[in-house]
């Protein structure tokens, strides 16, 4: 009997503990707290790759996402976060290696928050990215393209023509110039970067030296580097005035290493030159000729404008988009989210009328400048929010033959009513986010469009980011 009572009391205690634990977990969920972590490393077998480039395993009947792991590998992992439906971990040791695993090309891999796929062979990276886009389209959009194009690719290193470097100052007054760690505000100081345009990479060391020389003031917060077709430039962001001697050293540095220098207060506003005067500079890049009678285009942009960071891939992308749209004289074309005219201006060389719509007024100004400089009078640029009625009034109804849209990562959900109103016969969608492409592709299918062609573009080698291009054709019964 005594044993029975002890068992009974123990069971009662367990039930109370269970209820208390459930109540605590409920309170944690209500407060948005994570489930407790298992701090002990353990081994896991990786089944496949996630859409963001992490290995996926099963552990204790939950999905486990493992950074740094590849399919078919057995890895020792340590959990980094726990959630109700999945857990996250990082690979500590590779017990059984994938044949597609390679040595990263960058010495900062694993610390820097960029280039998270350097451990995967470049050919396998492209295959994984294409699979991720097709999977998302099928799973969330219910769509499969009739044709899959060969991926557009560029050189895997030295391709990036723009980078924003963070500056962090240690308590001892030492500057850290580099990129932030994954999921952290901590800056990883770098002296090189394998994916940067060599003209930009060679500026890292001298800029580091300059930061050390001005450390007593600690004014700089970021340095944005840009390489165009002719030069390299740096925008120095600072939250307190640069001293006269600091500026003199920087001026000499720019002469020695042949790069342009502009300044901007961290609070924003116009760019300043080294003498403190407001300036409105232009950089430029070339787009190739599309035919024997075409001499190409020069696109001018402000150093802070959005541009594609991989110039070689961008030229391929524009050429492919023009081929898919197959614009003829007499066509009226709309370019949504047009920026400075990267696609708008090539289309204007072919169509009788092109309208480019962009929410940011400053980039619309640049688009108009570019059209005038190229002598193109078949195009107009308009500043408008595509989710508001003004854009509908600008474009009219049902009189657009073709359309191109290149939305941000959030996609083009807000522009779907406008697309339905204009009802172009063909539409090219440039995407930098497979999930929003899948969502918007489903909306287009509901409007009567067929997904004819899809192709990925490896704009960012060694990262899990993927761009894609899709051609939609309106079904004849919907004309």
Instruction: Return d(Cα 36, Cα 359) in angstroms, integer.
Output: 44
- Answer yes or no: is pLDDT of 9 > 80: no
Cβ 88 vs Cβ 81: under 8 Å:
yes
The number of domains in the chain is: 4
Does an H or E element contain 261, and which?
strand 260-265
pLDDT tens for residues 306-345?
999 999 999 999 999 999 999 999 999 999 999 999 999 9
The CATH number covering residue 183 comes to 2.40.50.1070
Distance CA 422, CA 472 (A): 14
Residues 180 and 195 in one domain: yes
Q: Which two tokens stand for residue 292?
A: 């024997």
Note whether 321 and 450 are same-domain residues. yes
Q: Does the residue 111 lie in any domain?
A: no
pLDDT at residue 11, rounded to an integer: 39
- Answer yes or no: is pLDDT of 452 > 50: yes
Alpha-carbon distance values, 387 to 66, 127, 411, 415 (Å) = 38, 35, 12, 6
Global pTM value: 0.89
Distance CA(103)–CA(158), nearest Å, equals 17
Residues 71 and 26 in one domain: no
Considering the chain, what is the average pLDDT of its residues?
A: 90
**371 occurs within a structural domain:** yes
Q: For residue range 346-397, list pLDDT tens digits in order.
A: 999 999 999 999 999 999 999 999 999 999 999 999 999 887 766 666 666 5
- The pLDDT tens digits of the residues spanning 417-447 come to 989 988 999 999 999 999 999 999 999 999 9
Q: Where are the beta strands (DSSP E) in 116-195?
A: 147-148, 162-169, 175-180, 187-189
- Identify whether residues 362 and 261 lie together within a single domain: no
Strand ordering across the sheet containing 55-59: 42-45, 74-82, 86-96, 62-67, 55-59, 48-49
Looking at the structure, tell me whether residues 228 and 166 fall in a common domain. yes
Same domain as 138, residue 82 = no
Same domain flag for 299 and 445: yes
Q: What is the pLDDT of residues 143-156, one digit of tens each?
A: 999 999 999 999 99
- Return the CATH number at 318: 3.40.50.150
The pairing of beta strand 147-148 with beta strand 162-169: unpaired
| Whether residue 242 is found in the same domain as residue 342 | no
Q: Is 112 a catalytic residue?
A: no
Residues 450 and 473 in one domain: yes
Q: Which is catalytic among the residues 106, 112, 338, 432?
A: 432
Predicted confidence band of residue 18 (pLDDT cuts 50, 70, 90):
very low
* Cα separations in angstroms, 420 against 194, 246, 308, 449, 451: 44, 56, 28, 10, 16
Same-domain check for residues 458 and 429: yes
Residue 53 lies in a domain: yes
| pLDDT of amino acid 298 | 95
- Any domain includes 108: no
> Which residues span the domain enclosing 307?
125-155+287-478
Band of the pLDDT at 267, cuts 50, 70, 90?
confident
């Amino acid at each position: 009997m005594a044993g029975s009572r002890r068992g009974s009391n123990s069971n009662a205690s367990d039930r109370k503990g269970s209820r208390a634990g459930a109540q605590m977990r409920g309170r944690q969920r209500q407060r948005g707290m994570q489930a407790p972590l298992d701090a002990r490393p353990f081994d896991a077998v990786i089944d496949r790759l996630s859409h963001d480039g992490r290995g996926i395993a099963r552990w204790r009947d939950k999905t486990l996402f493992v950074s740094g792991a590849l399919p078919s590998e057995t890895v020792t992992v340590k959990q980094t976060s726990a959630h109700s439906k999945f857990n996250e971990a990082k690979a500590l040791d590779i017990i059984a290696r994938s044949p597609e695993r390679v040595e990263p090309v960058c010495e900062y891999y694993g610390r820097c928050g960029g280039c998270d796929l350097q451990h995967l062979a470049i050919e396998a990276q492209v295959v994984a990215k294409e699979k991720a886009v097709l999977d998302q389209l099928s799973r969330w959009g219910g769509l499969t393209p009739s044709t899959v194009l060969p991926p557009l690719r560029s050189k895997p290193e030295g391709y990036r023509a723009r980078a924003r470097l963070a500056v962090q100052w240690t308590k001892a007054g030492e500057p850290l110039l580099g990129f932030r760690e994954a999921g952290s505000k901590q800056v990883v100081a770098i002296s090189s970067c394998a994916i940067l345009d060599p003209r930009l990479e060679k500026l890292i060391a001298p800029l580091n030296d300059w930061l050390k020389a001005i450390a007593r003031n600690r004014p700089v917060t970021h340095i944005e580097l840009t390489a165009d077709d002719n030069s390299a430039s740096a925008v120095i962001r600072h939250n307190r005035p640069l001293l006269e001697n600091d500026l003199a050293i920087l001026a000499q540095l720019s002469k020695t290493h042949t790069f342009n220098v502009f300044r901007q207060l961290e609070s924003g506003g116009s760019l300043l030159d080294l003498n403190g005067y407001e300036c409105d500079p232009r950089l430029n890049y070339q787009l190739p000729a599309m035919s024997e009678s075409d001499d190409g285009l020069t696109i001018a942009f402000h150093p802070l404008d959005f541009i594609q960071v991989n110039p070689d891939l961008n030229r391929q992308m524009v050429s492919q988009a023009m081929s898919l749209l197959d614009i003829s004289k007499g066509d009226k074309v709309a370019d949504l989210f047009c920026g400075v005219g990267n696609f708008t201006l090539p289309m204007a060389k072919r169509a009788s009328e092109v309208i480019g719509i962009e929410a940011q007024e400053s980039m619309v100004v640049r688009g108009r400048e570019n059209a005038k400089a190229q002598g193109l009078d078949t195009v107009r640029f308009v500043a408008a929010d595509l989710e508001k009625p003004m854009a509908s009034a600008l474009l009219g109804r049902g009189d657009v033959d073709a359309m191109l849209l290149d939305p941000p990562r959030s996609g083009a959900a807000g522009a779907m009513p406008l697309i339905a109103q204009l009802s172009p016969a063909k539409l090219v969608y440039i995407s930098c986010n497979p999930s929003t492409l899948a969502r918007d592709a489903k909306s287009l299918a509901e409007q009567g469009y067929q997904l004819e062609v899809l192709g990925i573009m490896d704009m960012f080698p060694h990262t899990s980011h993927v761009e894609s291009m899709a051609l939609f054709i309106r079904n004849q019964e919907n004309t």
